[in-house]
């Protein structure tokens, strides 16, 4: 078994001042987000008693919150980080779709690329959280509502028109594929064919990473479980197995960089020329809630690359953003100011 080069086993350092300067440029960038919009619904209730009908808790409903999830969360994070976001997606003519459209209108995001599809269901993840007064609510059940039919061909054609037009104004394209039919490899390939090769195209794909091998993707941000599924393996603590799988994906997809997120173990960055860098988790390794953290990583990594950061610099920025968002409850975002404060705090030695 070939051993990894010793220099590749340690994290390479970066200039934190340069990272801050990069983040300061976020507000000057325009990013197109192609992805599956999902509504993340949180239903909070207090435990009143145990049901007489079955051994289950009865929750007294207190409130319901609906926030952007999936590709919509990636778009939301891009907006919170200061970028001008041009989303291309679809929602149904339903309450969840109405809520997502209303959210982005309030944030003054251009919604012309979000297509309303009659008779289609906006993918919705409904989480039920239980607790007593003055305690942290715990998730006890999740119910998913998914489309029962694929998107019509006419809608797919509109995606191509919207994507092609919006890319003319963009500094980067982020693709968020949650498997609901909006993001597709052939769509990315068709829309980017006429654009300059130095446009960063990043990908976060839940189920079919390698199908984008011919789509011109420059960087991908899968989590470790997605890499395991792609290569039919189990990584665990076997860093050499992770290295083999990561290098295989990098080569198969002809990527400039591959950033694999590993939860409390931080991240691993793969680059050309056999570069392999481990990045320790930022902040505490005891996450409060990892829901949607991958969307934050995709947003921060894409924006950093759009600003001209190296993959290593972009990975450190994404790592800090991810470390911040997992300390928040529910599907959350990180603002440009929060990210800058964290980087400056680390540079001055006052990071918490």
Residues acting as catalytic residues? 295
The CA-atom distances, in angstroms, between 60 and each of 40, 45, 63, 198 are 20, 5, 10, 54
Measuring CA to CA, which residue among 184, 167, 166 is closest to residue 175? 184
**What is the Cβ-side half-sphere exposure of residue 5, based on CA atoms within 13 angstroms?**
8
Please count the other Cβ atoms lying within 10 Å of the Cβ belonging to residue 129.
20
- Stated as kind and residue range, the H or E segment containing 302 is helix 293-306
What residues contact 26, with CB distance under 8 A and at least 6 apart?
Answer: 81, 82, 83, 303, 307, 336
Question: What share of residues in the chain are helix, strand, coil (percent, to 5)?
Answer: 40, 25, 35
How far apart, in Å, do the first and last CA atoms of the chain sit? Answer: 40
């Amino acid at each position: 078994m070939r051993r990894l080069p010793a220099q590749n086993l340690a994290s390479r350092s970066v200039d934190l001042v340069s990272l801050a300067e990069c983040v300061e440029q976020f507000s000057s960038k325009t990013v197109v987000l192609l992805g599956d919009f999902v509504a993340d619904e949180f239903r909070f209730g207090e435990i009143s008693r145990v049901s007489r009908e079955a051994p289950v808790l009865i929750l007294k409903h207190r409130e319901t919150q609906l926030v952007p999830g999936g590709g919509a969360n990636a778009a939301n994070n891009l907006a919170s980080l200061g970028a001008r976001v041009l989303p291309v997606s679809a929602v149904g003519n339903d309450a969840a779709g109405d809520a997502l459209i209303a959210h982005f209108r309030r944030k003054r995001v251009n919604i012309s690329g979000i297509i309303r599809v009659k008779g289609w269901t906006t993918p919705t993840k409904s989480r039920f959280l239980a607790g007593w007064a003055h305690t942290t609510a715990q998730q006890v059940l999740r119910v998913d509502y998914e489309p029962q039919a694929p998107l019509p061909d006419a809608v797919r054609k509109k995606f191509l028109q919207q994507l092609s037009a919006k890319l003319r104004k963009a500094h980067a394209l982020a693709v968020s594929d949650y498997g609901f039919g909006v993001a597709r490899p052939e769509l990315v390939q068709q829309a980017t064919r006429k654009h300059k090769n130095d446009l960063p195209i990043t990908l976060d794909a839940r189920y079919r990473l390698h199908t984008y091998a011919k789509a011109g993707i420059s960087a991908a941000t899968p989590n470790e479980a997605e890499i395991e599924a792609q290569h039919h393996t189990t990584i665990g603590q076997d860093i050499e197995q992770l290295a083999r799988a990561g290098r295989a994906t990098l080569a198969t997809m002809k990527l400039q960089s591959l950033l694999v997120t590993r939860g409390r173990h931080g991240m691993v960055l793969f680059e050309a020329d056999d570069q392999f860098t481990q990045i320790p988790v930022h902040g505490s390794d005891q996450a409060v809630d990892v829901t949607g953290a991958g969307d934050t990583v995709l947003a921060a990594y894409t924006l950093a690359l759009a600003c001209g950061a190296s993959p290593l610099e972009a990975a450190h920025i994404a790592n800090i953003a991810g470390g911040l968002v997992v300390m928040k409850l529910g599907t959350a975002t990180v603002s440009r100011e929060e990210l800058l404060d964290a980087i400056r705090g680390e540079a001055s030695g006052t990071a918490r």
